[in-house]
Structure 1
């Protein structure tokens, strides 16, 4: 039977050196959709400049990208290692401009810093210092996470996506419950009307426990 589903566009913001993590994020989102899409009525759609941009004239490159797809994204996943990116004219890098614009819009940002060792000869010191400055800048504004291996990052992103959307769905259900209760108090929920408004009520903890037991984090 037909089902309603909410689609959340997720911006993947990172530099070119984060190839392995980009693949891990893509796999995590595919797993989320196959695991939770039907049960929660939520689908995640990953967007990035590599896959969702086109050549365009008439403005700053990053400004054009922002209008093409960045501004329409509902949340972002940002991953940084040793490189910060190229200045945009307004910010020190495209990644910084994307993340700052998301934060200013009050949108959710998942921020991760890689602590995986890298040969000193392959590190651009100036770029690395900019990453460190960005990390320090957001120490008190974002609860970011760090990882020391690709397996650890896979666990982090899988768990974070699952918990975030399970809590989001639970919150929506609680608000729906409150609205339904208010309608009942006002006498709107007669036997026939009540049957059309009726839905299964579950607490946040029960939803998370149920899905974590059926689909434990990988």
Structure 2
């Protein structure tokens, strides 16, 4: 069903050593859209230079990224792990230049530093440069930290809610009538976490997967249970006892993917106004 919405571009800025964090911010943005776009009348459009920038000659690459990304963005998320990044003609790194430019233009900038373990082959010069940059920038505002992508997802949602409330006072954005009854949004999530290190000191990773099930409707869902339609593709690892998902509440359902080529489907059963209801969600 068509609806009106205001589109905000969200730039994801970082050096090259935090690809998982960049992916996590993008997934968090899409998750927020799924849960809020229709009811709040706002859609967030992620922008990453490696996928969104248009190849073009005629200027330094950073100036082109500034023009295409920073200047046209409404919100900026900047992430750092163990590198500051390569210097540009005008700043200590490309990401630092993007931060300064966005701030000068009055855009909200959210800056996060990873506290996850660093690899043993870390570039110490880059690490020292990053620490010096952090010491300088911490006097210019509040900095955020994240130890894993799950925590970063929470931080992104918190920042988005703050920005929406600031950019659009109540009643100033296109709105849509609140959904009536129970309405679920199911968003697959995953994160890689360090499970140890090999003999060469490089980290080993494992992937945790779960479904975030949010009731965006106007009523509580009772006797909620979850079922994997194709057991060969998806295994639910949480207890199967019926539960209640209140209006606006999110529950996490942990899963295991047993096939990377299938089309996993989770079926949600619930009771609403004394009637049994059911809906399937594709979560591949």
- Which position in structure 2 is the counterpart of 1:142? 141
Structure 2 CA distance for partners of 1:142 and 1:168, relative to 1, 3 Å: same
RMSD: 2.6
Larger % of helix: which?
A: 1
- Structure 2: unaligned runs, 5 residues or longer: 174-217, 219-245, 253-284
- Which position in structure 2 is the counterpart of 1:67? 67
Q: Take 1:104 and 1:172, find their aligned partners in 2: how far apart are those partners?
A: 26
- Which position in structure 2 is the counterpart of 1:123? 122
Query: Could you tell me whether the CA contact under 8 Å between 2:25 and 2:152 is conserved in 1?
Result: no
- Residues 104-133 of structure 1: CA deviation (Å, up to 9, x unaligned): 1111011100010113x3211111122112
Structure 2 CA distance for partners of 1:35 and 1:7, relative to 1, 3 Å: same
- Residues 20-47 of structure 1: CA deviation (Å, up to 9, x unaligned): 1112111111111111101110000000
Q: Take 1:138 and 1:101, find their aligned partners in 2: how far apart are those partners?
A: 14
After TM superposition, give the deviation of residue 137 of structure 1 in Å: 1.5
Query: Could you tell me whether the CA contact under 8 Å between 2:49 and 2:65 is conserved in 1?
Result: yes
Structure 2 CA distance for partners of 1:51 and 1:215, relative to 1, 3 Å: farther
- Which position in structure 1 is the counterpart of 2:8? 8
When the two structures are superposed, what TM-score results if normalisation uses the length of structure 1? 0.75
When the two structures are superposed, what TM-score results if normalisation uses the length of structure 2? 0.59
Larger % of strand: which?
A: 2
Structure 2 CA distance for partners of 1:215 and 1:170, relative to 1, 3 Å: farther
Q: For residue 118 of structure 2, give the secondary structure of its aligned residue in structure 1.
A: coil
Higher RCO (CA < 8 A, seq sep 6+): 1
Query: Does residue 31 of structure 1 match 2:31?
Result: yes
Work out the number of aligned pairs and report it.
183
Query: Does residue 53 of structure 1 match 2:87?
Result: no
Structure 2 CA distance for partners of 1:117 and 1:72, relative to 1, 3 Å: same
Structure 2 CA distance for partners of 1:93 and 1:147, relative to 1, 3 Å: same
Query: Could you tell me whether the CA contact under 8 Å between 1:74 and 1:108 is conserved in 2?
Result: yes
Structure 2 CA distance for partners of 1:162 and 1:217, relative to 1, 3 Å: farther
